[in-house]
Amino acid sequence: MSDEALPFFVYGTLRSDGHNHSAHLADRCADIRPAVLDGAALHDGPGFPWAVPDPTPGRRIVGELVTVRPGAYAGTLAALDRLEGCRADGTGLYVRRRMVVRTEAGEAREAWVYLAGPAAAERLRARPALIVSGDWADR
């Protein structure tokens, strides 16, 4: 798993109004801007969201593109991987993937996105808990 210093696309409890933001991101951010991940669906955890790739036309997830200060990047990446149960072998609760998101200004940016890991993605395909708006705040 690469550790390249990319911004993070956050869509649930790590968003600036989410309970995990203050613990893991608040004092480490250089920039936060609204963004959208196209080609993915948002599902209710419950209690936390899951992102799953979904080619259905119009599917998207609303979130924020968070750029972390360079001096805080390595520690933030490690903390977020732990929080998300991300494992190097790809079998974790979530998997971290490099994906392209679109900012509110229409700019395409590469970012790290935490997607549902294999077991959760399989469960959600079998029994979806879709948040139709794609916005965790609208669940």
Round to whole Å and give the CA distance between 139 and 130.
9
The pLDDT value recorded for residue 1 is 62
The pLDDT value recorded for residue 72 is 96
Residue 26 phi, psi dihedral angles, 5° rounding: -50, -50
Both tokens of residue 11?
A: 């869509």
pLDDT tens string 119-131: 999 999 899 999 9
DSSP 130: B
| pLDDT surpasses 90 at 40 | yes
Q: Are the C-beta atoms of residues 103 and 65 closer than 8 Å to each other? A: yes
On whether the pTM is more than 0.85, the answer is yes
DSSP 67: E
